[in-house]
Structure 1
Amino acid sequence: MFCYLASLPLLLVAIWSFLHLRRKNGRKLPPGPLALPFIGNLHMLGHLPHRSLQNLAKKYGPIMSMKLGSKVAIIVSSPEAAELFLKTHDILFASRPKIQASDIMSYGSRGLAFSEYGPYWRNVRRLCTSELLSVAKIDSYAGMRKEEVEGLVGRLRAAREEVVDVTELVERLIEDMTCRMVFGRRGDDRFDLKSVVREAVDLVGAFNVADFVPFLGPFDLQVDRGQSSTLPPWDRIRPVTGAYGCLASVSQDATISLTEVSTISVCSANQKVVSLSHE
């Protein structure tokens, strides 16, 4: 029995080597360091990944490949090589890798920042440009912005003989303007938009083992603990603001394709229902 258990790691390594070589023979990758089973080259990144990658690039060249767990990564470290990826062949590398945090926070990576490049992403970008970032839409909030800035100036004048934390006041100004544009009302004590956004950004940027070694997902609770109270953060805000029926609700339904939608009314505080008119 002991002999069988002792030979199990060797068997796993042999299986991994066979699968690795078979995949390697099927495609040609740039040169790179030898990867270990399961963890790949994660151990080579160290505490300063940018320094480690710089040293590796000196050995393997401006375009090299690495295994981050089970994921293949192409590392680019020169302007000429970056132009190939970001300009010449930009469409091939336009999609971002899916991570566990973005899947939960943006309802299956269906937001503008994390969805795969394709018809869905192009439609979401078109909606964002026409309904949120157009000149007419921005100008429609000019009165609100003026009102909020005048309020800030008034508070500064009232406290002219006191010590004022300008950073805190400006942050509050931006938060109030954002809440009024998105929800039609200022933030209140029931939710803090700034803290929710900060927590979401921290979780998306945090290292998660399950993103690189998927079979460890069931044993890795580092993301789930934070997501249980923070993600998706918008679900914590919507019951307070009454902003139900927004585009986030539509994106949760995988059966609704934006390519089939001819008319979409982006919701606001005064319009809580997304109007869908299918062709």
Structure 2
Amino acid sequence: MQILCYSLLPCLLFLLSTKFLLHKRKKRNLPPSPFALPIIGHLHLLKLPIHRTLDSLSKKYGPIFSLQLGSYLAVVDVSSPSMVEECFTKKDIVLANRPHFLGGKHLLSYNNSNMGSAGYGDHWRNLRRISALKIFSTSRLASLFSIRREEVNILTRRLNSGSSHGYAKVELRSMFFDLTCNVIMRMVAGKRYYGEDVKETVEARIFREILKDFIGYIAMIQVGSMIPILQWVDFTQDFKKLDRLNKRMDMFLQGLINEHRHDRERNTIRMK
């Protein structure tokens, strides 16, 4: 009898999930979509490259269609500029929020409280105001122009040295990555961590390791975010890895903050 119950349980879950998804679809009056599997929805359809997958789906279901990504609903607009304009003008506040994924909870978002992951509201608007004044203002960007110019010059010299003896094949992705990281870190901490001319230090090595792991988790689809039931059992140990990475990032950034405070105090003493 017990074996029979365990055998029927998956079938029962399948029927309940299917009924739930169909009921939710009818109730919301959603755009057309492919047939959704129970629990995972349309996750099985998302194959790389994603933009080609979405394009092929739009040819079959129209310029606007819906996808059920686990527990999250997504409405995809591939080839309707007028609808995109309406979404980002007339309906922008309605669509301003975003789902809370595990990365936003564990990776420098402090439980989805930074500007990139916080929900739309007073807190988010305050963060945007501070960013506009302190980071993206015209005067602030102009004061940091020399950093961007120096890093571009370094990249230009690097490209020139690589082709000094004639035509040469160059992999630009890694070079642009180095450029971006160095510009950001020089603006934030006044330090460079990438490039052939960078002195190899423990700090530089740790930063590169942390950033590599961080990008890996950002790019990885967090199945636990899409299917919350999987969060109960951490099969792949992703949650523990995210927690360890977050602690390493906190320690590294706190070290930069402490160093900045020490330098500022030392400069204040000299001025006195």
TM-score if structure 2 supplies the norm length? 0.71
Answer yes or no: is the 8 Å Cα contact 1:16–1:37 preserved in 2. yes
Gaps of 5+ in 1: 247-268, 273-279
Moved more, 197-206 or 169-178: 169-178
**CA–CA distance in 2 between the matches of 1:222 and 1:88?**
42
**Following TM superposition, by how much is the alpha carbon of 1:104 offset from its aligned partner in structure 2, in angstroms?**
0.8
The change in CA–CA distance for 1:184 and 1:22 in structure 2 (over 3 A counts) is same
* 116-125 or 81-90: bigger deviation: 81-90
Indicate conservation of the 8 Å contact 1:30/1:64, yes or no. yes
- Equivalenced residue count is 250
When structure 1 is superposed on structure 2, of 53-62 and 188-197 the one drifting more is 188-197
Q: 1:183 aligns with which of 185, 189, 199?
A: 189
Amino acid at match of 1:76: D
SS in 2 for 1:65: strand
Counterpart amino acid of 2:119? Answer: E
**Correspondence for 2:112 among 109, 115, 134:** 109
Name the one with the larger helix percent.
Answer: 2
Supply the distance in 2 between the matched residues of 1:132 and 1:201 (Cα, whole angstroms).
23
Over residues 158-185 of structure 1, what are the superposed CA-to-partner deviations in whole Å (9 max), with x where a residue is unaligned? xxx99xx999888767655533432355
Aligned residue among 79, 99, 102 for 2:101: 99
Is 1:242 aligned to 2:244, yes or no? no
For residues 167-182 of structure 1, what are the structure 2 equivalents within 5 Å?
175-182=181-188
Q: State the Cα distance separating 1:146 from its structure 2 match.
A: 7.3
Q: Once superposed, what is the RMSD of the aligned Cα atoms?
A: 4.1
Equivalent position of 2:135 in the other structure: 132
Deviation at 1:228, TM superposition (A): 4.7
Task: Note the 1:14-33 alignment, pairs <5 A.
Answer: 14-33=15-34
**1:115/1:121 contact within 8 Å kept:** yes
Percent of residue pairs bearing the same amino acid type: 29
After superposing the two structures, state which structure 1 stretch, 17-26 or 108-117, moved more: 17-26
What is the correspondence of 1:1-279 to structure 2 with a 5 Å cutoff?
1-78=2-79, 79-105=81-107, 106-141=109-144, 175-184=181-190, 188-192=201-205, 193=207, 196-217=210-231, 218-221=233-236, 223-224=238-239, 226-231=241-246, 234-243=249-258
Contact map agreement 2:106 2:243 (CA 8 A) in 1: no
Q: For the structure 1 residues 210 and 245, does the alpha-carbon distance in structure 2 shift closer, same or farther, using more than 3 Å as the test?
A: farther
CA change 1:38–1:142 in 2 (3 A) is closer
Tell me by how many angstroms 1:4 deviates.
1.9
